[in-house]
Amino acid sequence: MLSALVALVAANAFAAEGTTTGPNGEKPTPAKSVVLTPAEEQQIKDGKYTAALVWHEMSEYTNAVNSGAQDELKRLGIRVVAQTDAGFDAARQKSDVETVLAKKPSIILSLPVDPVSAATVYDPARQAGVKLGFVDNSPAGYVQDKDYVTIVSDDLFQMGNKAGIAMADALGKQGKVGYIFHDADFYVTNQRDGAFKHTIEQDYPDMKIVAEAGMADPARSEEIAQAMITQHPDLDGIYVTWAEPALSVLSTLRAAGNSHTKIVTLDLNEPAALDMVKGGNVAALIADEAYDIGVTLARATAASLIGKKAAPFIVVDSLAVTKDTVKDGWKRSLNKDVPATVAAAMK
């Protein structure tokens, strides 16, 4: 418990200075630095290696990560022998690992459902000598370079910072802002949220965060939004910790007949993008380069098969997606075309 607390304090200390840190306080290494020489690529191809992809759940985000991983593994001549979806159930993820081990994969790429209990999920693979590469988090107690290869994630501070800049752009750098943050001990959202707040408070003297609300349960986001909007009907903008609860804020604003208050949130989401291109309340969506997370994780983990060490915590870039950049942003983030409904609304 104490080590977790120390790591959390370390992570928050780094984040406050404007640098993303990993779940155990690791310093970030840019994804662009993960490169293989032609000779290394050939060595991997000659190894006739295999991979299993053991995902936590399938979503727009996971599909993009998976797509990047599949493409890079194929490029390196690594055959994917299994792909699973745990439906965000740790027990199911444990049985998924046991199932894929029968196929004897050389590497497993995964996002742990529950880092606290994840050691029991991945121990059979680790003990079998399978190289493990993780998205966002590693199992508690696991040591990088001994038990797993690397963690690949977002540049979390950059995402929150870009959300702050996008809010300032939407409001002409002045106005009253509401701040709905994730009220849970999760380093990803904590750093993103903190970076937004830090950016507004440090860089925009004519903008004030006048209302704050913590959201522990996304199912309560609508009532949180209703309370905030009732108490502060003159808000110029509201930051929401990620896209799904932002839709609850959007429906609350619509129900109140409020077309003035702008929303900035994180992650791409079709209904939010649709509102944005139609000139509604949504001003910007901050997205990570999810496809690149998959590419980078596959490359770094594959490199470990030929003895190449990886940095402990690797981060990809993020981008602010607005009405004007939605087509390009969707492609850069998810490596797919903007949804048909959004494309139609842009015509």
Give, rounded to a whole angstrom, the gap between the first and last alpha carbons of the chain: 54
Low-confidence winner among 6-20, 62-76, 108-122 (lowest mean pLDDT): 6-20
Q: What fold characterizes domain 156-288+320-346?
A: Rossmann fold (3.40.50)
Q: What fold characterizes domain 2-155+290-316?
A: Rossmann fold (3.40.50)
Decide if pLDDT at 108 tops 80.
Answer: yes
What's residue 227's pLDDT?
Answer: 97
Spell out the residues 6+ positions from residue 221 whose beta carbon is closer than 8 angstroms to its own: 180, 215, 240, 244, 245, 248, 249
Decide if pLDDT at 339 tops 80.
Answer: yes
Amino acid, single-letter form, for residue 289: E
Residue spans per domain, the chain: 2-155+290-316, 156-288+320-346
What's residue 185's pLDDT?
Answer: 83
Low-confidence winner among 10-19, 34-43, 121-130, 138-147 (lowest mean pLDDT): 10-19
pLDDT bracket for residue 17 (50, 70, 90): low
Q: How far is the C-alpha of 275 from the C-alpha of 278, rounded, in Å?
A: 5
Identical fold between 2-155+290-316 and 156-288+320-346: yes
- For range 92-108, the mean pLDDT: 98
**Helix, strand, or coil (residue 119):** helix
Q: Which of 327, 333, 324, 173 is nearest to 243 (CA)?
A: 333
Residue 106: DSSP 8-state: S
- For range 156-173, the mean pLDDT: 98
What's residue 13's pLDDT?
Answer: 39
Burial class from Cβ neighbours inside 10 Å (0-12, 13-18, 19+) for residue 317 reads middle
- For range 235-252, the mean pLDDT: 96
Beta strands in the chain (DSSP E): 29-30, 50-55, 79-85, 107-110, 131-135, 150-154, 175-182, 207-215, 237-240, 262-266, 282-288, 313-316, 318-321
What's residue 186's pLDDT?
Answer: 84
**What rounded mean pLDDT belongs to the chain?**
94
What's residue 18's pLDDT?
Answer: 82
- Dihedral of the CA atoms 67, 285, 245, 195 (nearest 10)? 100
pLDDT in tens, 248-293: 999 999 999 999 999 999 999 999 999 999 999 999 999 999 999 9
291 close to 67: Cβ distance less than 8 angstroms: yes
pLDDT in tens, 46-80: 999 999 999 999 888 899 999 999 999 999 999 99
Tell me the pairing of strands 79-85 and 50-55: parallel
